[in-house]
Amino acid sequence: MSSMQSQPQTFLSRWAWLLFPLLAFGAVAATFGLLKYVGPKLPFILLGAVIAIGLLWILVSSLSPAKADRTCPECGEQGLERLDPNTTRGVVCSSCGYVDPDISAWYLAEDETLLEEIVLSERAQKRATSNSAESQDTTRKTTSAE
């Protein structure tokens, strides 16, 4: 009884490798058939179709821009929020309390606020910390020289 149940599965797994070659040969045969039916204009029609699909993709992408994915990896709810409104790092889930301080919250910040303000304040903060580190170095040098 069990050998009867597993027989169709083994048949499929044994002949599954034939699927891609058959599809590839079928596509080649269909192309030759289409070439015979349409004529020598077929490459230009296909090139035009590919360019038209590309332009259509650009149009659709620009008319419906990407939205931030707020799905929580822990509970699956749409509850992800930024951990700190002053940075683009870290998320917290409002539904279950899941916290990831290292993940990028760039798309969430892009949805909610102006990124320029965050980037400029982070840059100023980085500059201030490097300047204070340099001033500490100079004070160390002066103290060691004395």
Interface positions with Zn ion (CB under 5 A): 72, 74-75, 93, 95-96, 98
Q: Which of 69, 49, 59, 64 is nearest to 110 (CA)?
A: 69
- Considering the complex, state which of residue 95 and residue 121 has its C-beta at the smaller distance from Zn ion: 95
Q: Least CB distance from residue 81 to Zn ion, whole Å?
A: 10
Nearest distance in Å: CB 48, Zn ion: 48
Q: Which is nearer to Zn ion, 48 or 76 (CB)?
A: 76
| Nearer residue to Zn ion within complex by CB, 74 or 110 | 74
Q: How far is the CB of 91 from Zn ion (least distance, A)?
A: 10
